[in-house]
Structure 1
C-alpha cells in the first residue's frame, strides 16, 4: 500500500522502485484547503508518462487526433486514411468492417494504447468488452481469453496497439463495443490514494479490491491523485485541449461515454469536474476560443449542477491569445479577424483588434456564467489572460477601448483575475546567446554552473552588453529571477488598478528551444537545459521564484505542469514519469515543500474542506480474555439476528443509483460489500454508495452484504432491484381539448404531465404521424389538412423517456 507510515518494502515498477508500505493505519493525505499553489495538468495521450486514468483505453488514439487507424491486411499499411468510410456508433465503436478482399480499402482498425512510452505500468491488463468479434493485441502478450474478457501482459520496452479484426460476425447488431483496458493493481481500502499491486501488499488479502472491480468508481489512478492532492487548483487547459480547438457548439463537445478521452476535441468536461470533486480542488476551466453563448450557458449549468458548491471555479476563454507562436496563433488570428469584422470602420493595429475582441468575449463569458450561478455567483472567478512581459497587451484586454467606446463599459468591470505566465529564464533561448550556450554545452558541468549563475546575476549581460542597442534587447541586469520579479511587479500594479487579483495561470522555469534542434540547440537542450532541471539548484530557484511571487502580494500561482516526459520541447513537467519518487523529482519536491511551509497568503484564501482520503478499514485487535466468572450470571436474552435495510433513489444528473442502508446492530467491525448483478463493485464502512453512469431503463440488482471483518462472515444481506437515473416515464398528458382558432386552424390544450424529473417536451401526433413538438401545454396548428383530423400527445422527459399516448381528439376541417 502507499500513503501510510510504517515499514517499507520495495516493489518494482517500470524505471522505479516504488515504496510499498505495510502498516497498521493510514492518515489522510495532506489537505489542499489552504494551499496557495495550483497546477496545470498534462493531457491524455498514448505517450504520456502520467497514469491519469485506470482505464487506459481512455487515452487511446491513432496518432493523428482520431480514434481509429484504418489498417490494410494486404499491404500492411497502418493507416490508409479512410476514416470517412468507418461505420461508427455514437460512442465511436465500429459497427462493421469491410470484407477481407483485395479491393477493400482497409480490413481492420487499430488504435494506440502505448507507444514511444517507456513509463507505462508493467504487469497484467484486463481487457473487458461487450459484443462479438475478434480483438488482437500488437505488443503485449495474450495471457488468457474468454468471452468479454482478455488478459494481456506488458513487459519492459514494449508497446500496445489494439486491433479489431472482426465485429458483429453474425449481423445481429452485437458489434464489439465498450472496450475497457484496466491497469494492473488495485487497492486495500476505499481511500482515493491507496494503491497496491496485489492482495499480498494488503494487511489482509481479503481487503484487496482489484481495479477491475473499482475502476468505474475510482476512474483516476491512486498514484496520480496522490501527486495532485496538495494542489489547491487544477488547470485543465491541456486536458481539455483548449488551444486551436475548433468546437463552437455545445452539441459538438466530447462526451463522457465516448470510447476515448484523448482525441483532438479534448477530454470531456465531466472528467475534469469529477477530478476536481474527488480531490476537493478548485477547477480552472479553459473554454475553446470559438465557443458560442449557448455553449457557455450550458457549460455554466453543468458546472453549477455538478461541482462542489464549497469550491470556487475559475473560468478562462482560450489560452494565450496574445501569443503569435504555433499553435496559439490559430486562436489569436480567429480573435483578430472577429475584431476586424466587429469594428470594420476603425483603424487599429492587429494586436489591438485581437485583444479588444478577446476582452469583450471574456467579459461576455463571465456575465453568462455568473448569471447562471445566480446566488452562487461569488464562486465564479473570471480570468483575463495576459502576457507577463508586456503589460500594455493586458491593458488592451482589460480596458478594451475599441469595444468600450460604443458601450461605455470596460471589459474588466465584471472580471476577478488578471493572470499571466510567471516564468523565468526564457530569454536563454534567444538566438543572440546561441554561441555562448554552445560553448557552455562543450563543458556541461561548468556550463550548468554558468546557467545557474545567470539566474541570480548578469553573466550574459556582461558578455553581450552593447550600449548602442535598446534596453529591451539586452540581457536583464540582475539575471533571470530578478527579471521575473520585475514582471510580477508591473502586472500587479495593473491588476490593482482594476481591483483584480494577479494570478499566475502558468509558471516555473522556461528553458526550451520549443522543439528547434538546429545549429547545436539539441546539444544545449540535453547538456544544459534538461540537466539543469534535474539539478538540486533548480529546486532552490523554484522556491525563490515562488517566494518572490508570494512576497509581492500577488495571489494564486499555477505551476506548469504535472507529469510528462522531457524532450526537445522542454522540461516543464515537475515529474518525468508517474513512478518517479518525490526525492528524485527535485522540482516536484520543491513545490510541495513550498506548499507545506507556506499556507495561502492572500485575503480570505482559507477554505474549510474535509480531507481527500478516508482511513483504511482495519481488522480489530485480538479480544482480551475476561477473568473467570465467579457468580453465575442470568441467562442473556437471545441476541436478535442482524438485518440490513437497503433503499435506493435515482441520481438524475449522472444516470446513477444512490444506495442507502441501515444495519440494526451495533457491530463495530463491519465492512459493507456492494454487488451489482452479482459482481462485487465496492466496499466501504459508510452506509451509502453512489453508482454513476449506468444504463437507463434496465433492471439492476444490487446486494449489500454486511461482513464481520474478523471472521469474514456475512452477518446480514439484502438484495433490491431498481433502475438507474431517470428510468421512469412521465404520465400521459390528460384533458386534451381541441377547438377552432376562428380561421382555418385549430387550438390544442392539455393538462401538464407529471414526471419525477420534469417534462422536456410534448410530441404532437397528427393523423397517427409524428407532426411536431412543443415545450408548452398548448399548441396552434394553423393549416391542418382538410377532412377529419385527429391529434394525440406523448410527453417526453429530459432522459428521453416517453409517456403512454394520450387520448385522441379530432375535428372536421374544411377550407370552403
Structure 2
C-alpha cells in the first residue's frame, strides 16, 4: 500500500477508521442571512437583515441603534427575502408599544400591549407562496427592543428541528461563513456578536456560544476561523470560551482567517499591503532590488501570513494546554502546492499546527471564458466526462502533492472545503445564462453523486483525513451551486446522498471507476 511509507502512523489511523466503516465528513454552514433558505433558528429575527428606516426597509441602516442593535426610533426590518416556504403563523413578542405591520405581505393580528410589563404580542400570518417577509414598527415610544418572531416550526432550544436533522450526517461543522470570517473587521472582544445582539447576521455573524451549543447538541466537532484583525485579547477569550463551553469529548479545529492566499478576499489584500510596504522599505534602504519585486513580495506575504497564523494559533495552544482535542491548521491553496511549501518553509508553524488544510474543488474551469464554448457544445455528457478527467488528473495530483508536503512535517492533510466548483464565469451574459442552466442540471443529476464518490476515493487513497464539504444549503444560481441541498425541504439529493455514503466509508460507484 503506497500511502504507508508516506504517511506512516497517520495513514494507519485513517485505514483503521475505514475498517470501522466510517469516513470523517464535515460540512460548512452557509451565511446566516435573510436570503439563505436555511431556517436555523426558532426565532426568525436572528436571521434578519438589519434595522432600517420604515420608508427604506430594504437598506439596513439609517436609524439610531442601542449597543445591542435595537432601534431607538420607528424602524422596519426584512426577516427573509427570496426564500421559499415562509408560510405559517409566527408568534411576535417585543418590548415597548408599537403599531406593527407587514408591508411586504402577510397580516399582523391579535396585537396586545401590557403597559405594566411593557410587553407587546401579536400573531404574524404569512400566506402560501410568499417569499418576502418584513415588519415595520411605527408609533413607538423611542423604538422597540427584544423583538422575537417564533417560526411556525418545531424547535429544540434555539434551533429548528429541521435544521438539526439536516446536519446529523456530519461529524464536523465549519463556521467560516456563519461567523462571517471573510473581510471581518473585528479587533477586540467587544466587537463580536453576543447572545443579546439584535440580529446574528451582519456584520459579525452568529455568536460563538451558539456555534458551540450547536456542536454540543449534534455531538459534532467544531471548526472555527479566527478573524485576521483580532487582537490577543479577542483570541484568548475566544479560546477560553470554546474550551469551557464545548463538550470535552469533541475536537476543535482552529484556523487563522480563511484562504489567506486568495486575493478575492480583503484579508489577503490586507497582508499584501503590509508585504508591499515592507518590500518598499527594503528597496528604499538598499536591501532589496526593485527588479525582484515579483519574486520577493509573495515570499514576504506568505511569511507574514504564516507568522500571524502562528501567533494566533499559539494562543489557542496555550489556553488548551496542548490538549489533543485541539487541531490547529494552516489553510492553503490546493491547486498550488508551492503555497503550502511557502507557509511551512520558515518553520514558524512547527509545533503549532497539527494539519494542513486545503480545498480540493474540481471543475472550476468548465465555466471559464476559455472553456465555456466547448462546455456548452458538449452538454451535460461532456460536463461529467471532464469532471471525471479533472478528479483523476490535476485534482488528484494536487491532493497527493499537498499530502507529501504535509507528511514531510509530520502533519495531517484535511479539507476545509471541497466538492464541485462549477460557476458561469465566461464574461458573456448570454453564455453565462446557458451555463447556469447546464450547471444546475449537472448538480441535480445522479452522476454528480458518482463524481463525489470518485473524488472521495482519491482523497482517502492519498491519506486525506477530515473532509469538510462546501456547503450545507444554498439556492442554485449564477453565484454557484454550493449546497448539498437547495432548501430545507430536501432530504435526498445526488450530492447529499453521495456524501452520506462516503461518510459510511463506501466510495464504490455504479460505474466501478
- One of 453, 463, 480 as aligned partner of 1:553: 463
Say which one has the larger Rg.
1
Name the Cα RMSD after superposition.
2.2
CA distance in 1, matches of 2:425, 2:203: 21
Q: Corresponding residue for 1:496?
A: 407
Q: Which of 39, 54, 57 pairs up with 1:71?
A: 54
Q: Does the 8 Å contact 1:36/1:598 carry over to 2? A: no
User: 1:355 — aligned with what?
Assistant: 302
| Aligned equivalent of 1:589 | 497
Structure 2 Cα separation of the partners of residues 49 and 292 of structure 1: 34
Change beyond 3 A, Cα 1:338–1:413: farther
Residue among 385, 388, 396 paired with 2:342: 396
The alignment status of 1:368 with 2:368, answered yes or no, reads: no
> Which one of 108, 111, 127 corresponds to residue 142 of structure 1?
108
SS at match of 1:128: strand
517 and 309 in structure 1: CA distance in 2 versus 1, 3 angstrom threshold: farther
Distance (whole Å) between structure 2 residues aligned to residue 239 and residue 567 of structure 1: 20
| In structure 1, C-alpha distance between the alignment counterparts of 2:391 and 2:21, rounded to whole Å | 32
Q: Distance in 1 between matches of 2:426 and 2:193?
A: 29
SS of 2:396's partner is helix
Q: How does 1:23-102 map to 2 (within 5 A)?
A: 35-61=23-49, 67-72=50-55, 77-78=56-57, 83=62, 86-95=63-72, 97=73
Cα displacement (A) at 1:379: 1.8
Offset of 1:349 from its aligned partner?
Answer: 3.2
Q: More helix by proportion, 1 or 2? A: 2
Once residues 558 and 87 of structure 1 are traced to their aligned partners in structure 2, the CA distance between those partners, rounded to angstroms, is 40
Q: Which residue of 388, 391, 398 maps to 1:487?
A: 398
Normalised to the residue count of structure 1, the TM-score between the two structures is: 0.55
**Matched residue, 1:22:** none
Kept in 1, the 8 Å contact 2:368–2:425? The answer is: no
The residue aligned with 2:148 is 180
Residues 1:416 and 1:431: Cα distance change in structure 2 (over 3 Å): same
Q: 1 CA distance for matches of 2:415 and 2:459?
A: 9
Judging changes above 3 Å, is the alpha-carbon distance between structure 1 residues 500 and 219 closer, same or farther for their aligned structure 2 residues? same
Q: Give me the whole-angstrom Cα distance separating, in 2, the residues matched to 1:33 and 1:269.
A: 32
Q: Shift of residue 342 of structure 1? A: 5.7
- Are the equivalent residues in 1 in contact too, given 2:24–2:467 (CA < 8 A)? yes
How much does 1:519 deviate? Answer: 4.7
1:573 is matched with: 483
- Partners of 2:44 and 2:392 lie apart in 1 by 40
> Is residue 368 of structure 2 the alignment partner of residue 380 of structure 1?
no
Partner of 1:338: 274
Cα offsets for 1:614-653 (capped at 9, x unmatched): xxxxxxxxxxxxxxxxxxxxxxxxxxxxxxxxxxxxxxxx
Tell me by how many angstroms 1:341 deviates.
Answer: 4.9
Are 1:301 and 1:372, in contact at CA under 8 Å, matched by a contact in 2? yes
Match of 1:17 in 2: none
> What's the counterpart of residue 75 of structure 2?
109
Give a deviation string over 1:248-271, Cα, whole Å, max 9, x none. Answer: 111111111111101122221111
Question: Of the candidates 227, 242, 247, which is equivalent to residue 186 of structure 2?
Answer: 247
Equivalent-residue separation in structure 2 for 1:257 and 1:510 (angstroms): 37
Question: Alpha-carbon deviations, 1:311-334, whole Å to 9, x = none?
Answer: 110111111111122xx1x21111
Matching residue of 1:450: 382
- Is the Cα–Cα contact under 8 Å of residues 423 and 509 in structure 1 kept in the other structure? yes
Query: Residue 452 of structure 1: CA displacement?
Result: 1.0
Matched position secondary structure for 2:414: strand
Given the alignment of the two structures, is residue 428 of structure 1 paired with residue 369 of structure 2, yes or no?
no
- Report the count of equivalent residues: 469
Match of residue 4 from structure 2: none
Match of 2:370, SS state, is: helix
Q: Is residue 125 of structure 2 the alignment partner of residue 167 of structure 1?
A: no
Report what 2:420 is aligned to: 509
Pairing of 1:686-765 with structure 2 (within 5 A): none
Matches within 5 A, 1:267-346: 267-325=206-264, 328=265, 330-341=266-277, 344-345=281-282
Comparing 286-295 and 337-346, the one that deviates more: 337-346
Deviation at 1:398, TM superposition (A): 1.5
Deviations 1:14-64 (CA, angstroms, capped at 9, x unpaired): xxxxxxxxxxxxxxxxxx996510110011111111121111100101xxx
1:337 Cα offset (Å): 2.5
- Give the Cα separation in 2 of the matches to 1:238 and 1:36: 21
Distance in 2 between residues matched to 1:453 and 1:38, nearest whole Å: 27
Deviation, 1:79, is: 6.2
Q: 1:253 to 1:413 in 2, by over 3 A?
A: same
Q: In 1, Cα distance between the equivalents of 2:324 and 2:110?
A: 54
User: For the residues of structure 2 that align with 1:82 and 1:485, how far apart are their CA atoms?
Assistant: 47
Q: Which has the higher contact order (CA 8 A, sep 6+)?
A: 2
User: Is the contact between residue 123 and residue 184 of structure 1 (CA under 8 Å) also seen in structure 2?
Assistant: yes
Taking structure 1 as reference, are residues 523 and 110 closer, same or farther at Cα in structure 2, changes over 3 Å only?
same
- Return the match for 2:432 from 515, 521, 525: 521
> Is the 8 Å Cα contact of residues 339 and 356 (structure 1) preserved in structure 2?
no
| CA deviation profile, 1:283-317 (whole Å, cap 9, x unmatched) | 10011111112211111111111111111101111
Per the TM alignment, residue 81 of structure 1 is displaced from its structure 2 partner at its CA by: 7.8
Structure 1 counterpart SS, 2:196: coil
Question: For 1:35 and 1:162, how far apart are their aligned partners in 2?
Answer: 45
The 2-side partners of 1:486 and 1:80 are apart by 46
Which residue does 1:540 correspond to in 2?
450
Question: Does the 8 Å CA contact 1:35/1:231 hold for their aligned counterparts?
Answer: no
Partner Cα distance (2:171, 2:298) in 1? 34
Q: 1:149 Cα deviation (Å)?
A: 1.6
Distance 1:82 1:454, change over 3 A: closer
Residue of structure 2 in register with 1:264 after alignment: 203
Change (3 A) 1:576 1:165: same
Per-residue deviation, residues 147-183 of structure 1 (Å, max 9, x unmatched): 22211122223221111112227xxxxx521111111
User: Contact (CA 8 Å) 2:370, 2:426: kept in 1 or not?
Assistant: no
Matched residue SS, 1:274: helix
Cα contact 1:87–1:94 (8 A) shared by 2:
yes
